[in-house]
Amino acid sequence: MVDETKLAEKQETVETLRKVDDDLRLPSVPERNFFPKEIDIAPARLQTPAIGQRATRPDGRLHGLGQTKYIDDMFFPGMLHAKIKRAGVAHAKIKSIDVSEAQKMPGVQATLIGSEIPVNSFGPSLQDQPLLADQVVRHAGDGIAAVAAVTEQQALDALEKIKVVYEELPPVFDPIEAMSEDAIKIHNNDSNIYASKTIIKGDIEQGFKDSDYIFERRFTTQMVEHVPMEPHASIAEWDANGRVTLHSSLGRITLGRADIARTLEMPINRIRIIATVVGGNFGGKNEITTEPIISLLSKKTGHPVKCVFTREDEFISSTTRHPFIMDYKTGVSKEGKILARKVRIVCDGGAYCSWTETTLGKASILSAGPYNVENLHVDAYAVYTTKTVTGAMRGFGAPQVCFAYESHMDDIAAELGIEPLEIRLMNAFNEGSSSPTGQVLESVVVSDSLIMATERFGWKEWQK
Amino acid sequence: MIHRGKGIGCMWYPIGFTAAANPSAATVKVNEDGTATLLTGTVETGQGSLTVLAQIAAEELGVSTDDIHVVSADTDATPMDTGAIASRTTYVTGNAIKLAAEHAKQILFEVAAPMLGVQPNQLEAIDRKIQVQYFPQRSLPIADVALQAQFVMGRPPIGSASYNPPTVGMDPETGQGKPFSTYVYATQCAEVEVDDETGEVDVLYMSAAHDCGTAINPMLVEGQIEGGISMGLGFALQEEMLFNDLGQQLNPNLTNYIMPTSLDMPEIDVDIVENFDPTGPFGAKGVGEPTAVPTAAAICNAIFDAVGVRITSLPATAEKVLMAIKDKRLSNQRALPAAE
């Protein structure tokens, strides 16, 4: 016989459970996004001629409405998350890397170490940087191994289980010390000096002889980060045709694709890079970082793999601005005309070359300032140290040398009792001036910019 | 006591790579209604480059900025580009786009010439029209010409081109050569307040006059300059990555690595120095990096003007400025004659 009471009770329970289930169920229709579908186009975008218009940006509307899809906003079915283990030691030989415990951790789908990467090196001029260090650690932010897991947290937890045995080597942090012959060689070269530039113009000795006054000063600058709002981020999806598609925050996709092809030993046409709207670059996203690593993790797992740097990754492993040590010696006439300048730049090149050669080149060419210096001698050196990688950053060495040559200029002006504006106008490049490299300069407006900025400032009327 | 001071920072900066090839390529496709699609391999990194590039294509085709849709940064779809680096996008990519648009325009001219009864070289593209030079009343809407080109003449108006700035390699011994095609120039002036009891520096005001050739979009140039000043300010006064004796970073986070916020920003007046570079697209050069170059120099010179101390090592933190002020006071002290 059916127990009516029990049946009723049972049904009630089912109803209750169903209600709970309904409450928990996610809405099948996504919430409506309230943004205007009919848009007013800013008049400046509709004007002809187009040049000189204060045209608004189409991406500005998307940013303002939160509609821009950065890498972190993108999800693909079955996507995994990758994290990278950092060395934590500045200089060491890697004796062994054991990822077996990490592989057993919950959610972990794959791991990767440097020796599994077909060509484990990259770099725009010297390919001296490993994607994941497999033999030697050269700075504390060097990546050692990568883990792909179902969630970011699982990947992070698994990193803790990676066992690395190091044989520590003496570090060298000071570039001047690293230049000396008996310093430990970070890349097994004859010297830690890995790039140098010289610019010679006129007769420096004669220039100093002709000078009424000689000024000397050493200037130094610090290491800084780009700090883009969006950290380095990318997603790799390896497909059944053996092609890999990368969504990436790279700022130069054509050359990035060639670099990735080189590291993966793949034809270039099997790699597709789609760069999203990048949330700030400033030079820091000019080269590949994790793209080959997550490509291989995607190949291993058959799933899309995403890697987004934490702010700490961004600081310790991505490129930074080169610290400079700059020695300036300038000979001037008593009227304040620069007659000779000698500059020595020592550029703290960090653990790997990256964009240092370009930085050194620009810094040495620009180091005399926007001034006519007939007798010039610039020597510039880039030196390996066991510190964070230094690379491209807004200005490629120019902010460093500008700080030096402009501070030096005011030192000279103060000593000679000349107005800072006057001494600059007296020495400034004109149309047709010859640059430190002997190039005839055109469309030169140094004096115009000096006059314009000081007039706007109210330089002459300004009082303390 | 609070001291006020003023300082100048003046600079020059090259556009593009140092004596190395750095080409860009572009494709411009004019649609049947006279709007166009621009394909470029450069990446929008937040600076507004795609808008500027659209303006360059629009100018060449005689249409408005909004008539150009930009497809960018997909290696499967867009042509090669050396990338958003070295302040080269407006100048190098811009020149490639101008040439590509010129090629597409040439097809439109060749199609329009018989319609207007003139030679192609007598035509110009202005205000969404293809018209006979000096005879604005003899014109056709660009849409009519584009439609005719594609569906009647079977000549879709598509143009592709590339550009590489001409440079001359540098002599390895003396560095002599022509490493860059062109340079920009700029000056920034700073007004600061320095507290001689704490060493704190407050930047009150900055004026900035930048040369970028033709300002294709003055609003975006101003944005670059203001952003550059904020970066320069951080470099001058606050930002520094610190390491311990083991080479580990001490402040890899935004709590201890101090960046300028809106509260640190001075009032800024921006001027664009009028200039025209015949080698740039419509006279344009570039503006990205130079905006961050002279700020630190201007601020440190203003500190010198305010309290008479020369900061020789960046950043000019309060500690460093105060130490320099104390050192200066010590060196200025004259020993009193010994008491008798």
Interface of A with B in 444-463 (CB under 8 A): 444-446, 448-450, 452-454, 456-457, 459, 462
Cβ proximity of B177 and B161 under 8 Å? no
Q: Check whether B339 has a pLDDT greater than 90.
A: no
On whether both B103 and B56 belong to a single domain, the answer is yes
Count chain A–chain B contacts defined by CB atoms under 8 A: 394
What mean pLDDT value characterizes chain A?
Answer: 94
User: What letter represents residue B237's amino acid?
Assistant: L
What was the pLDDT predicted at A11?
76
Contact A50 B240 (CB under 8 A): no
Structural domain contains residue A296: no
Structural domain contains residue B209: yes
Structural domain contains residue B142: yes
Tens-place pLDDT, residues B267-295: 999 999 999 999 999 999 999 999 999 99
Structural domain contains residue A256: no
Mean pLDDT of the region B312-333: 95
Structural domain contains residue B186: yes
Structural domain contains residue B55: yes
Question: Last residue of some domain: B107, B132, B161?
Answer: B161
User: pTM of the full predicted structure?
Assistant: 0.94
Tens-place pLDDT, residues B244-272: 999 999 999 999 999 999 999 999 999 99
On whether both B147 and B227 belong to a single domain, the answer is no
What does the alpha-carbon distance between residue A404 and residue A324 come to, in Å, rounded to a whole number?
A: 10
**Interface check A429 vs B, CB under 8 A:** yes
Structural domain contains residue B175: no
Structural domain contains residue B71: yes
Residue A33 confidence class, pLDDT cut points 50, 70, 90: low
Cβ proximity of B151 and A419 under 8 Å? no
Q: Check whether B24 has a pLDDT greater than 90.
A: yes
On whether both B72 and B117 belong to a single domain, the answer is yes
User: What letter represents residue A183's amino acid?
Assistant: A
Tell me which residues of B are annotated as active site. 289
Structural domain contains residue A370: yes
Residue A371's CATH number: 3.30.365.10
On whether both B219 and B106 belong to a single domain, the answer is no
Residue with tokens 């830690």: A192
- Ranges A18-27, A410-419, B155-164: which has the least confidence: A18-27
Q: Check whether A235 has a pLDDT greater than 90.
A: yes
A259-287: b (≥16 Cβ within 10 Å) or e: bbbbbbebeeebbbbbbbbbbbbbbbbbb
Contact B10 A370 (CB under 8 A): yes
On whether both B302 and B200 belong to a single domain, the answer is yes
Tens-place pLDDT, residues A335-361: 999 999 999 999 999 999 999 999 999
Tell me the chain B residues in contact with residue A387 when contact means C-beta distances shorter than 8 Å. Answer: 243, 247
Mean pLDDT of the region B29-49: 96
**Interface check A36 vs B, CB under 8 A:** no
On whether both B8 and B33 belong to a single domain, the answer is no
Cβ proximity of A101 and A160 under 8 Å? no
Interface of B with A in 67-126 (CB under 8 A): 72-76, 80-86, 126
Mean pLDDT of the region A264-292: 95
For residue B42, the enclosing domain spans 17-161
Residue A1 confidence class, pLDDT cut points 50, 70, 90: low
* A86 bridge partner residues: A143
For residue B175, give the 3-state DSSP assignment. coil
On whether both B248 and B127 belong to a single domain, the answer is no
Residue B18 confidence class, pLDDT cut points 50, 70, 90: confident
On whether both B35 and B153 belong to a single domain, the answer is yes
For residue A448, the enclosing domain spans 175-180+187-225+320-457
User: What letter represents residue B261's amino acid?
Assistant: T
Residue B187's CATH number: 3.30.365.10
Question: Last residue of some domain: B161, B196, B222?
Answer: B161
What was the pLDDT predicted at B122?
98
**Interface check B55 vs A, CB under 8 A:** yes
| DSSP helix, strand, coil percent of chain A (3-state; round to 5) | 30, 25, 45
Q: How many CB atoms lie within 10 A of CB B174?
A: 14
What does the alpha-carbon distance between residue B216 and residue A212 come to, in Å, rounded to a whole number?
A: 46
Cβ proximity of A408 and A414 under 8 Å? no
Question: Which tokens sit at A95?
Answer: 């004796």
The count of domains in chain B is: 2
Structural domain contains residue A414: yes
Question: Last residue of some domain: B161, B194, B221?
Answer: B161
The count of domains in chain A is: 1
On whether both B153 and B188 belong to a single domain, the answer is no
CA distances from A132 to A120, A144, B233 (A): 7, 5, 35
The shortest C-alpha distance from B7 to chain A (Å) reads: 8
On whether both B110 and B26 belong to a single domain, the answer is yes
What does the alpha-carbon distance between residue B121 and residue B249 come to, in Å, rounded to a whole number?
A: 64
Structural domain contains residue A57: no
On whether both B207 and B305 belong to a single domain, the answer is yes
Structural domain contains residue B168: no
- Angle, vertex CA A357, rays to CA A379 and CA A197, nearest 5: 20
Interface of A with B in 105-164 (CB under 8 A): 139-141
* A26 bridge partner residues: none
Structural domain contains residue B340: no
- Ranges A161-170, B102-111, B325-334: which has the least confidence: B325-334
Cβ proximity of B176 and A202 under 8 Å? no
What was the pLDDT predicted at A18?
66
On whether both B220 and B279 belong to a single domain, the answer is yes
Instruction: Tell me which chain A residue has its CA closest to the CA of residue B277.
Output: A443
